[in-house]
Amino acid sequence: MRELILKLKEKPDICLEVEGILPNVIAEKSLEEIENLPIQYGNRRVKLSEFFDAYVEKSETPRIIFDGDMSRVKRIGWKLDGGEIVVRGNAGMYLGAFMRDGKIVVEGDVGHFSALNMSGGTIVINGNAGNYLCASYRGEWRGMSGGIVMVKGNVGKELGSYMRGGKIIVEGTADDFAGVCMRGGIVVINRAEERLGAGMIGGAIVVNEVEELLPGFFEEGEEENPEIEGEKFEGRFKVFSGDHAERKAKGRIYVRL
Amino acid sequence: MKLILKNGIVYDPANGINGEKMDICIKDGKIVEKVRFAKVIDVSNKLVMPAGFDIHSHIAGGKVNVGRLLRPEDSLRRAVARRNGLRSGSGYSVPSVHIIGYDYARLGYTTVITPAMPPLLSRHTHHELNEIPMIDKAAFPLYDGNWFVMKYISEEKYEELKAYVAWLLWATKGYSVKITNPGGTEAWGWRKNVHDLDEEVPYFGVTPKEIITSLVDVCNDLNLPHSVHLHCNCLGEPGNYEITIKTLQLVRHKDFDGRQSLHVTHLQFHSYGGDSWKTFESKADEVAKEVNKNDNVMIDTGNVIFGDTTTMTADAPMEYDLYLLTGLKWVNKDVELETAPGVTPYIYSPKVLVNAIQWAVGLELALLIKPEKVILTTDSPNGGIFTNYPKVIAWLMSKKAREDMLAKVHRSTEHRTVLPSIDKEYDFYEIAMITRTNPAKSAGMPNKGHLGVGADADIAVYDINPLEFDPKDYDKLEKALSNAYLTIKGGEIIVKKGEIVKVTHGRTFWVDAMGKVDRSLIEKDLDYYFKRYYSVSLSNYVIGENELRRSERICVN
């Protein structure tokens, strides 16, 4: 087992796309082979070594560490299927998109469309996240289906749209349209802005504080220490069902009292 | 360019050639008796057939483009990079323009007809067709919900109807008359549909029966190369086989000196029994019996392939029903005085009984109807995308392939269909018939679909020895048919070993029947309707011949 450390030489003027730089891909390769792996720079294919200094070290688990400000590096952990990725700094768009397994830890912020259509694994974001975190791909009605995403900071709009399964925990504020069109899974948010759960027909949203709910949500009473999607939550919650603007809506929003 | 294809094993049903080892000579884009000083290509022990002909595939036009806009996630499934001078593209069930042409060439197909062109959107359709490389093409304009057609039929003005049909073919550079759910698309404007041949269309008071029979007569009188191309009423509804049989019976006695009087398209979607989704069953045997008895019709199958696809048809009420079933995204269009298409995604799942039965019905029809009357299609992309044709051919040629698939589908399928009891296996001669000869014959293109002297040199060679083919080995067949060893289009090699080696642009066929009618009969109505109702002026409506990249005008007399 070994880990690869990729140090960004300098912040690129246009975005890099590092699709295919995954722990399982580099596991069997020599350092030279790794340095020659192709990445996308605008409309050009370039070698990894053109933008990154690569070092290999021994480690317990297969791991890649991205060192530096990666806010112009897109598709880190795209289709990740095992192993671990650590980003020491910010990450760009599409972090962990279509991820199936493994773990990603980001010390800074992440860009838009992160954890898109994720189906398994864990992502920990210590900063803020952009719009469309854990959302479905444009036009897709089969969104995130599994895995756990934890965000310490705030997240942008349309968090977890069309989500079918898995879990999202946001310790900060989620912008408008969190949980839009949800079908399943659970979203736990500290504070939500407007239009929470618009169009949801399944799954559950647990929120400590919310501006106001859409008229499609009906109050169903109060619950003490409820069990939501197989998990115990402490405290008293007001329960809403909805969004009854949709047919056969079975979504639930729990607002902490 | 002069070419000789040497020692191939040739199947050419139009000329009665059944697996003979022979040479084919090509000169100046045509097949000739003999040629000297030609380049010789050795294709010994390889399957040689005329190039494929797809008579019903939605490859261009308003609906296809709406499908692309509606489904960005479809583009994610397949992206093709630019290389070797080929254009890039994306899309799985609704591929972008250029890769449609490349895909067809790789399959060994060189002629494709896009079957439902709303006349108002024909400019868009033709400009899109112009950009599709590799293939020859044509488009059928829609006449089903057309106000002129219904007006003339209800007023019993037959000569005017004839003039209008010919005028619209000329104005839209169309190839033949397509009717989709006759009457139903106009009724849809009133939030209704028609469910019987004698049900009246609101306002106009005409019935589907009158629309079909009048247009069948017009097509015959104008001597159009193709007959009426009909998408029957009640597509996809349980129990719709009765209306399908009634429709087929309408033309049983319309015997026009051996001329085909009706082409019934994607018959699979019209051969269902039962009275609800719970009792849904196959009635392919009943429909097949009627088709076999009826000398005047040709059918295409509209087979279903399991998987994700985008349905698109000019039958908007049907698309709405489908949307109610799936709850997925849906687009409805209303084309002014003409028709009403709809688009919605659909997933055919082998574990869903209805879908499994649909899959079986398509195969039953192909196996039970005489091969002389069958054309293989998937109504691409409605039943599945055209790149799956080799899969359907494998099912038709190998009982084992069908049994292997039956084992994977919903268990009740065998009780609701007769597929497990059918032992017939197609041979290469019959496959050449249903994918080459029959469509070319039905479309009335005498230079296509065969390898006789004088035919267009459109040839497909596949890397499989048909004389040693074992039906149990269907995977190999599927692989060979998916990537043509050689595709020759107009005497030029365009595909070699599954790779495109030359990009060409085919011709657009259209029919000019204006010489047979008197345009002055409809001049006044055209002026009035365009001033009063259309959002475009008459002069902007007509497509000029110069708008087609390579126009091929077929003059009828």
In sequence order, what are the residues at sequence separation of 6 or more whose Cβ sits closer than 8 angstroms to the Cβ of residue A78?
A18, A19, A20, A94, A96, A97, A98, A99
Residue that finishes a domain, picked among B422, B443, B464: B443
Q: Tens place of pLDDT for every residue, chain B, 557 residues?
A: 899 999 999 999 999 999 999 999 999 999 999 999 999 999 999 999 999 999 999 999 999 999 999 999 999 999 999 988 899 999 999 999 999 999 999 999 999 999 999 999 999 999 999 999 999 999 999 998 899 999 999 999 999 999 999 999 999 999 999 999 999 999 999 999 999 999 999 999 999 999 999 999 999 999 999 999 999 999 999 999 999 999 999 998 887 777 899 999 999 999 999 999 999 999 999 999 999 999 889 999 999 999 999 999 999 999 999 999 998 999 998 898 999 999 999 999 999 999 999 999 999 999 999 999 999 999 999 999 999 999 999 999 999 999 999 999 999 999 999 999 999 999 999 999 999 999 999 999 999 999 999 999 999 999 999 999 998 999 999 999 999 999 999 999 999 999 999 999 999 999 999 999 999 999 999 999 999 999 999 999 999 999 999 999 999 97
Residue that finishes a domain, picked among B443, B470, B486: B443
Q: What pLDDT score does B364 carry? A: 95
pLDDT tens string A67-104: 999 999 999 999 999 999 999 999 999 999 999 999 99
* Whether B426 and B294 share a structural domain: yes
Reported as half-sphere exposure (CB side, CA atoms, 13 A), residue B263 has a value of 33
Residue that finishes a domain, picked among B417, B443, B469: B443
B497 Rama class: left (phi>0) / alpha (psi -120 to 50) / beta: left
Q: If interface means Cβ-Cβ distance under 8 Å, which residues of chain A face chain B?
A: 136-141, 247
Asked if residue A27 has pLDDT above 90, the reply is no
In a domain, B514, yes or no: yes
Take residue B64 and report the two structure tokens written for it. Answer: 């296809």
**CATH code (residue B459):** 2.30.40.10
Residues B73, A247: C-beta atoms closer than 8 Å: no
Asked if residue A60 has pLDDT above 90, the reply is no
**How many distinct structural domains can be found in chain B?**
3
Asked if residue A237 has pLDDT above 90, the reply is yes
Handedness of CA A129, A130, A132, A137 (dihedral sign): negative
In a domain, B241, yes or no: yes
Q: Which of B433, B383, B389 is nearest to B268 (CA)?
A: B383
* Whether B278 and B211 share a structural domain: yes
* Whether B46 and B160 share a structural domain: no
Q: How many helices (H) and strands (E) does chain A have?
A: 2, 19
Which chain B residue shows the shortest CA-CA distance from A143?
B73
B156 Rama class: left (phi>0) / alpha (psi -120 to 50) / beta: left
In a domain, B95, yes or no: no
Distance from CA of A247 to the nearest CA of B (A): 9
Residues B74, A139: C-beta atoms closer than 8 Å: yes
Q: What pLDDT score does B187 carry? A: 93
d(CA B314, CA B63): 8
Q: With beta carbons under 8 A apart, name residues in chain A contacting B328.
A: 141
In a domain, B112, yes or no: no
* Whether B487 and B521 share a structural domain: no
In a domain, B265, yes or no: yes
* Whether B351 and B469 share a structural domain: no
Q: With beta carbons under 8 A apart, name residues in chain A contacting B327.
A: 247
In a domain, B327, yes or no: yes
In a domain, B207, yes or no: yes
* Whether B146 and B46 share a structural domain: no
Asked if B545 and B512 count as a contact pair (C-beta separation under 8 A), the reply is no
In a domain, B127, yes or no: no
Stretch 70-109 of chain B: residues touching chain A, C-beta under 8 Å:
70-74, 76
Facing residue for A137 by CB, picked from B76, B328, B329: B76
* Whether B244 and B358 share a structural domain: yes
What's the domain range around B540?
508-555
Q: A232 pairs with which residues across the strands?
A: A227
Q: With beta carbons under 8 A apart, name residues in chain A contacting B76.
A: 137, 140
Using alpha carbons only, give the angle A151, A157, A158 rounded to the nearest 5 degrees.
Answer: 95
Q: What pLDDT score does B69 carry? A: 94
* Whether B491 and B522 share a structural domain: no
Candidates B73, B93, B330, partner chain A, best to mutate (most A CBs within 10 A): B73
H helices within B251-351, ranges in order?
284-293, 316-326
* Whether B224 and B327 share a structural domain: yes
Residues B328, A139: C-beta atoms closer than 8 Å: no
Take residue A73 and report the two structure tokens written for it. Answer: 């590096």
* Whether B354 and B228 share a structural domain: yes
pLDDT tens string A163-203: 999 999 999 999 999 999 999 999 999 999 999 999 999 99
Q: What pLDDT score does B257 carry? A: 78
ipTM of the complex: 0.86
* Whether B183 and B308 share a structural domain: yes
Q: Which secondary-structure segment (H or E) carries B171?
A: helix B158-172
Asked if B100 and B133 count as a contact pair (C-beta separation under 8 A), the reply is no
Q: With beta carbons under 8 A apart, name residues in chain B contacting A137.
A: 72-73, 76
* Whether B298 and B424 share a structural domain: yes
